Structures are given as structure tokens and as C-alpha cells.
Structure 1
């Protein structure tokens, strides 16, 4: 996807609160802060093999990792000074200025490919700093060929650990002083193939039955009229091979409201992931009562009209299925899957067709706008619970007959993707929700990650875009992200397998580094989820974003959920 110019990667941006000892102000202090931060980045790179390698033959059918001797950190870390009014670190005006600058950085970085992959590792950082604020915003982006979204979270957790490690000592660790030059060139230690991070298929048992493989193959080649629920082009979200262009809009939900949302999820036996998916499909159904007329050969004698299927997607981490560290993680630095940067993710589909989808479309015709409706609210929660149950079923199945096992049967993935885009094949997914799970922002280190801390947060993104996907996990302004003319949401709270109670708290102690906020973002994907900026009907996209903000806000105030937007004629 990177070599085709249709997807460049993902990233996590964290707001690091600066310890009092490093925020005294002045040019000398700022220089010390930068040196401290870059040394911590260097230590983080040394912990993760996939941050140390180049990629050769990216556009071929036999790409390979290349061991590098050194990395010039100045090619990977950019510092930007943001001018904000000196109203103090708690000023909303100053924070808004920083947020505006950060949004611009994220959009530009996600639209920029990774250069010189054979001689440079596929990662980058942009650190935003204002002397008037007591934090830095650090964007970390990674080529998805190197690692997944959870790996970007792990990078920041490792970085936080290294920042505090350096703060505890007056001099740099021996393994850093010997390999990091004053010019920022990091000399890498020798690495054997056996010490390198194992590949996904080596970490996870991807067993596949012959009937399942044949069935999956047949679904790709049989005519559409023979499929029980064939995907059809959505008239308001066509697939086109357009250049990547990421957009971003944040919708905020404060911490108090988020607690109420999570409580409501528990009462309805679902999670924040399920709730966002339920809200998304309900909003789309109520705003796009699009139907198709089946006039295929088989149905010529009797033409029927039915709603176009909607398919939601939820990426699922496969780290829980990885083999034990002593057998699969030879690197002495990384103690197991939860601290290993790797690319190991699968997918769960939530298909809406037939009676389930028709009931939502029927509801769209009877709910009076701006009027609370028990039927409407019940329908939304029913969808949220449905998603939760499907995720539980997916997790219970384990790795047997998993989608990623099919990759080994495709000889030319790049060519296949190019053909699908050229043929304007119907999209597999209408809208996607990504959830990275819990991030520990307390600065407690790996040993403390198992215990609950005030700043543990969940980083989540609801992605319905070709142009953007983001999320925000913030103690003060929990974030839901959407796009200018598309729709994405990010929020914090909890994942289907994680404790959602963790996620809110006050600022950490000033004597150590802490993470106050995190945002998960992805590059635009022209071939991906169907709610696409610039291509999707503006009313559908803007309406979906407005619904998510209004409905989450209503739950946060313990009010009834109301559909208050005008219906949109899609097409």
C-alpha cells in the first residue's frame, strides 16, 4: 500500500508533561530539554529491532529487511516551536494554538511517504514545543509495513520509561554514551537474524482448514448474483484511486461525561467499541436509506428492492495469541508481546443486511426529529451489544481460519490491490473502529503496567474514511475525532477485553515525565473504509460526525439519545 501511494502508515501522538527540573525556561534549558528527549528516543530505538532496519525491494514480491549500521536521528526527529500567547500553561487559548499546530503536523505527516526506505528505518517523529507550556506534543509515525498501531503505543510507553530513566541518573547509560554521537548519529549494535523480531506467522499459529480456504477463494471468484449478500458500490462512497490526503477534526468529550458513557455501556452489556459502532451504523442507516434494485439474470422475472448492505470493521490485535516470550522473543531487550513492536493484527467484520438492516431503515422513517424515542435508543443499544457479541465470538475462535492466513496463498498482494482499485471494486468496509487498548501514562514503567494508575487511558479511533482516522485519549478533553467531509471518531475509554474504568485522572507528579493525552491517527486510504472525505456525500459525513458528538454528549449528561439531524438523500 505504501509503494502504491494509497496508505503511508499510522501514528500515536502523546502529550508529555515536562518535569519541573527541565521546564525552568531560557535557551539553555530548552537545549537541555531537547538533548534529554532525543537521548530517550535513542534508547527506545535500541529496544525495538524494527526501528533499526531498512526495507529493500518494497515494490517487489520479495521485500526484505536490511540491517543498518547507524541512524542519523536528525533525519527522523523534527522539532517545531509553536508561538502561543503567554497566558500560562492552563490557558485554553494557548492549548488551542498548540492543538491547531498539531493537527496541521499530523495531516502533513500522514500524507508524506517514508523516504529512502532501504537506508532509513520507516519511522519519524515531530515534537512540538512552546516555552510557555509545560508539555511537549510528540507525534510518532511508522510505516505500517514495520509495525501496527499498538506498536506506536508501545513506542510511547517505552519512550516514557526512558525519559524517566534518564531523569534519575546524572549521566547517560553506558550503552548510550558509546553509540550516540554529539551530532545525533546512533551507531546500532550488531544483530543476528535470530535476534530480530519474529514475523507475524512465526509468532501466531495460523492454521487453516482446506474447506475454509476453498470457501474463501470461491467467494472471490463466483458471480455476484450467486452470493447471499453481495457487496455493492455505495452511491455516496465510491472507490477511486485518489491521492492520499488526510483531514482531521476533533470532537471533545470531557472526563466526567466519559465516565457516564462508560457506565451506560456496562449497563447495556457492551463496551465503548461496541457503542461507537452501534452509533455509526444507526446514524448511517437513518441518513442513507439507499436501496438497490436487483435485476440480475436470476431475478429478472421479479425485481426486488432492498437496502444496500453496510459492513463495519474492527481491527483486532493478535498479541494475546502469541507464543511465550522465551520461545519466540529472543531479543534480550523486549520481554514479551505487550512490549514488542511488530505487525500483528487481524479483522472482525460486522455485516448488516436483511432483517437487521431493514429494521434500522424502517426506524429512520418513524422517529420524529428532535423527539426522544425509546425505540430509537433501544435500537442503538441493541446494535452496540450486537457488535460486542461478535467481537467476543471472534476472540473465542482464536487464530484458526483467520483472515491473515490467506495472505500466504496470494502470490502478488501488491498487484491484486492495484487491480481492485483500477476496477473500482465495491468496498469491503463501510466504516471502521480501531482501538489500541490501555496506555499507561503514569510513568511507572513496565513493572507498573499491570496495576491501575490514575493516568491509564485507552486510545481508540473510529475510522470511516479514506482521508483520515484519529482518536484522542485525554484526561481533560477526551477526544472523538471526525473529518472535514468524512467521518472518524476517536475516543478513550475501554476495549472489549480491557477494563474501561481506567482512563481518567489528574496530572501526574511534576517530578517525573507523564503522558497527559494520546491521539491515534492513520493515513488516508483511498481503497479502504467507505466514508470518504471529498467523495462521500457531505451531508452523510457531516451528519455522522454531528450524531456522534450529540449522542455521546447526551449519554454524558444522562439524557435520552435523540436523533436531531435532518435526513439526507444519498446518491
Structure 2
């Protein structure tokens, strides 16, 4: 532990110092500062678990105990979910060991209303708006389990502060929980009054200790120049139509679904046009926003796409980043230039006037989606060299950094795609079914300084595609945001069902 390093700097007792595991990494400090300032709260990922027939006969208390025991076993496999945090409002917050975790502070059981989907939506929206408290005494995550009497499924909402892990971390936790549900014979955890002991284990190393993040002097100079050149207000792609306010605002969510019948055809169309779902979603967002905003409000757009960096792990470590809850991502920007936006607006107008010209816009959409995919591939080929995530170590005071940021928003939108959860029903050798996942939803806070609209994407193998759209109340008009959601849902389902977007 690094307690001896801090002994000279603090008045903590020896016991308090002995709990210190390590400093937060630069990227973790970036996230914790946003949480402390309420700029961004966190993520939430819900999965619908199909309950095996054998467990449906259990009484309520026995059922809850079995579920919570499995969840405790899952949590203990991920050190990032067993620790507390101190000095959160300073330049150097610290991860600390916790002796026990009490599920009374973390897991809530709820019986949804008659409209279960609405109840789930309400829970997810509450989670991405509610800060995490008492972090010095408890980990930064929460769970809500929605289970109605007589139903054969339960919805498990796992919510977490981004400083503990990125979006993929939520998938990793649900994957671990599913395995634990299907191996109930293990006696590795004993719950007493819904709490359990946390063994002393090494904390997960930060990304920069597992993945090389080289930065060249030329890149540093170019980024500094970009930072201190005239403000974003002079750039045509700045999202000036979505103002940044001094006080953080509430996140609102709307939901889109692509049916399980239509979704495979959407993926086939992406492959046929040599692109991906992420690239297509970015393109469709551009079309929707461009045709809903006038030219005087937005002549160009910038978007951002989180990219998982786990594939670049240094092979020397025993830790498998692909199975580890941590922050391990970078952010890739893309600009839709003025000429392209003007062309898209004109083609959309032409298609409305003459539906026969709709194919021109469709061709343009696929061309742009292919270009975005090629840009993403080029970024991945470049690897981790000269990425902004490598510059985080040069920021010594993240709270002050955020307070001094420009009040002009750069990105109009973001697409955060978690891919698919492998939730198909496995079968025992004796033919009895096990636990499985048949649907999922992903949401996150809308950041004060981030994209005006954030699309959060997830699917289940063989199931539907579910997308949430997050925005800040007052920053983006509710009717406008829901209109964008309606466009995306309509165009994707049309593509899957007919092979065409049919913009006209």
C-alpha cells in the first residue's frame, strides 16, 4: 500500500492510512471531479433475467437471499466495486479499503407498477440523476431489482459512478452475475443481515499502468495550440444551439427500440455497405438534427465516439482488461463539415418534395457512414499513441479545470455502443434451463460540458436493439430531443423491415 507516502502529508490515524490503496488515476480523477461537481453522475445498465422454473417455487425471503448471495460473489470478483473513496473534493482523491459491504445501502427490491416498462424507465432516469453518497464508507454503485409476484423474470438495474468503470464495465458485472447465478453451489460468501466481509486484495491498476499511452512533443504542442486558439464560438461545428449553464441540470431520457425481427437486417445492411451500426447511428443523428435545426443555428456538427482501449493491453500483466471493471476507453471526434450539412439538408428537402429522389439521400447516408467507419478503423490502427487520454496526466487539478472550461459546447451528439450481451438460454446436460438474459437497457447522465445528445446503445443476442437518448433539461428542448429519437427509431425499423430508410 502507499500509506507511508501520505503519512507525512496528513493527520490521519495509522488505521486510516492503512486503508489507503492508491491515488485515483488521472482518468479516474477526471470522472470523480465531474461527479463531485454534479457535472455528470454515472451510468446504469439493466438486464431482464429469466428465472429458472426450479426457483419460482421459493418463498420471497429465500429467493432474495439466493439472489443477493450470487450478487455478493459477483461484486467480490471486481475490486473496483468493493472500495471507498476519500478526499473526493481535493486534487488527489484516494481509493480506500472497506471492511464490509452492506446491501441495505446498495440493493433495493421493488415491485413495479402494472406498466413494468414505465417503472423500469423511471428507475433508470432516477439512477443517472442521483449522486452517490457516503463514498468514504461505501462503494459507488447501486442496484434496483424489480420483481412482480407471479412473473418469470426480474429486471436488475446496476448503476455506478463512472470513476469506478466505463460502460463496458457494466456489461462485465452483469456477465459475472449471470455466471454466479448459474453456479449457486459455491459457499465463498456468507451474508449476515444482508452484509458481508471484504477480503484485503490488491486494487485494480489504472489504465495507464496496463496500456502504454505514448505522447509525442509535437502532439502536445498541437493540442495546446488548439486549446488556446480563439474560442469554439468561431468554429462552425460548435453546438451553440445547446448552451452550457452554470448549474448542472437534470438528465432526461427517451427510448428507442428496433424489433428483434428488424435488427438482424439492419446489421446486414451495415455490413453490405461496409460500415457499422455505430457509424450509421452517428450519420442518422446528423441527418435528424440537421433537418430539425435551421442553418442559422447550426451549419456544421461535431460528434464524439467512445472507443474501448482494452484490446491494446500490455501482455505482461496477469490482469485481463476484457474481464476487468475499470476505465479503459478513449474519445474519437468527427466533424461533419458545412458543405456536407448543406448537401444533406437540400437532399432531404428534395426527397420531401419528390419521394423518387429519396435514394440520393440514402446513398449519401451510407457514404458518410462508411467514411466514419474508416475513420474509426484508422484510429484503431494508430493504437494508443497521441490520444487525448494520454494528456490527462498533465492536469493536476480537475475541479479547477472544469470550472475554467469554455461555456461553448463542442459536440452536438455522442454514440456510446456497448454491443450485445450474450444472454441466450443455456441448457444443462440434464435438460433443465438455467438463468438467462433476454433484454437490456443502457443509460447514462447527460454531461454539462459534453455532447448535447447522447445515444446509449445495447442489444441482446437474438433480441431487440434498445437505445436511450439522454439530454439535459433546459439545454435541449424536450420536443426536439424526442423528435430526434422518433426519427432514429423510425428509420432503423424501416431499414430492417424494407431495406430502405424512406426519409421522404
TM-score (norm 1): 0.75
Q: For structure 1, which runs of at least 5 residues remain unmatched after alignment?
A: 85-96, 293-306, 330-335, 446-454, 470-485, 494-501, 506-516, 525-530, 565-571
1:465 positional shift: 5.0
* Distance (Å, rounded) in 2 between the aligned partners of 1:70 and 1:465: 32
Instruction: Tell me the alpha carbon deviations over residues 60-88 of structure 1, each in whole angstroms, 9 at most, x when there is no partner.
Output: 1011100111111211111012244xxxx
1:260 positional shift: 1.4
Q: Is the 8 A contact 2:145 2:155 kept in 1?
A: yes
Partner of 1:366, secondary structure, is: helix
Which of these residues, 208, 214, 219, is aligned with residue 207 of structure 1?
214
Tell which deviates more after alignment, 272-281 or 242-251.
242-251
Matched, 1:503 2:458: no
Q: Is the 8 A contact 1:311 1:349 kept in 2?
A: yes
Residue number in structure 1 paired with 2:365 = 380
1:158 positional shift: 0.2
Which of these residues, 103, 106, 111, is aligned with residue 124 of structure 2?
106
* Distance (Å, rounded) in 1 between the aligned partners of 2:78 and 2:120: 26
* Distance (Å, rounded) in 1 between the aligned partners of 2:340 and 2:296: 15
CA 139–225 in structure 1, closer or farther in 2 if over 3 Å, else same: closer
Residue number in structure 2 paired with 1:69 = 99
Which of these residues, 136, 142, 148, is aligned with residue 124 of structure 1?
142
Instruction: Tell me the alpha carbon deviations over residues 359-387 of structure 1, each in whole angstroms, 9 at most, x when there is no partner.
Output: 22333443325825111111111121121
Which of these residues, 283, 296, 307, is aligned with residue 278 of structure 1?
283
CA 419–224 in structure 1, closer or farther in 2 if over 3 Å, else same: closer
Q: Is the 8 A contact 2:457 2:467 kept in 1?
A: no
* Distance (Å, rounded) in 2 between the aligned partners of 1:312 and 1:461: 19
Q: Is the 8 A contact 1:437 1:459 kept in 2?
A: no
Residue number in structure 2 paired with 1:155 = 173
* Distance (Å, rounded) in 2 between the aligned partners of 1:339 and 1:225: 39
Matched, 1:345 2:329: yes
Residue number in structure 1 paired with 2:68 = 38
CA 338–233 in structure 1, closer or farther in 2 if over 3 Å, else same: closer
Alignment of 1:40-189 (within 5 A): 40-84=70-114, 97-166=115-184, 169=185, 172-173=186-187, 175-177=188-190, 180-181=191-192, 183-189=193-199
Matched, 1:536 2:480: no
* Distance (Å, rounded) in 2 between the aligned partners of 1:393 and 1:550: 31
Partner of 2:68, secondary structure, is: helix
1:131 positional shift: 1.2
* Distance (Å, rounded) in 2 between the aligned partners of 1:205 and 1:370: 53
Partner of 2:126, secondary structure, is: helix
Matched, 1:417 2:402: yes
Matched, 1:549 2:484: no
Residue number in structure 1 paired with 2:205 = 198
1:534 positional shift: 3.2
Q: What is the alpha-carbon root mean square deviation over aligned residues?
A: 2.9
CA 107–370 in structure 1, closer or farther in 2 if over 3 Å, else same: farther
* Distance (Å, rounded) in 2 between the aligned partners of 1:490 and 1:137: 18
Q: Is the 8 A contact 1:12 1:140 kept in 2?
A: yes
* Distance (Å, rounded) in 1 between the aligned partners of 2:64 and 2:153: 12
* Distance (Å, rounded) in 2 between the aligned partners of 1:73 and 1:225: 46
1:163 positional shift: 0.5
Q: Is the 8 A contact 1:314 1:349 kept in 2?
A: yes
Partner of 2:263, secondary structure, is: helix
Q: Is the 8 A contact 1:465 1:533 kept in 2?
A: no
* Distance (Å, rounded) in 1 between the aligned partners of 2:119 and 2:296: 42
Q: Is the 8 A contact 2:300 2:336 kept in 1?
A: yes
Residue number in structure 1 paired with 2:40 = 7
Tell which deviates more after alignment, 365-374 or 384-393.
365-374
Partner of 1:189, secondary structure, is: coil
1:323 positional shift: 1.8
* Distance (Å, rounded) in 1 between the aligned partners of 2:502 and 2:266: 15
Residue number in structure 2 paired with 1:287 = 292
Instruction: Tell me the alpha carbon deviations over residues 206-249 of structure 1, each in whole angstroms, 9 at most, x when there is no partner.
Output: 1000010111011111224998x5654523x1111343423222
CA 34–342 in structure 1, closer or farther in 2 if over 3 Å, else same: same
CA 318–459 in structure 1, closer or farther in 2 if over 3 Å, else same: farther
Q: Is the 8 A contact 2:266 2:496 kept in 1?
A: yes
Q: Is the 8 A contact 1:203 1:328 kept in 2?
A: no
Residue number in structure 2 paired with 1:440 = 422
Partner of 1:563, secondary structure, is: coil
Residue number in structure 1 paired with 2:270 = 265
CA 344–350 in structure 1, closer or farther in 2 if over 3 Å, else same: same
Q: Is the 8 A contact 2:236 2:338 kept in 1?
A: no
* Distance (Å, rounded) in 2 between the aligned partners of 1:115 and 1:519: 30
CA 212–444 in structure 1, closer or farther in 2 if over 3 Å, else same: farther
CA 345–49 in structure 1, closer or farther in 2 if over 3 Å, else same: same
* Distance (Å, rounded) in 1 between the aligned partners of 2:236 and 2:465: 38
Residue number in structure 2 paired with 1:477 = none
* Distance (Å, rounded) in 2 between the aligned partners of 1:462 and 1:98: 17
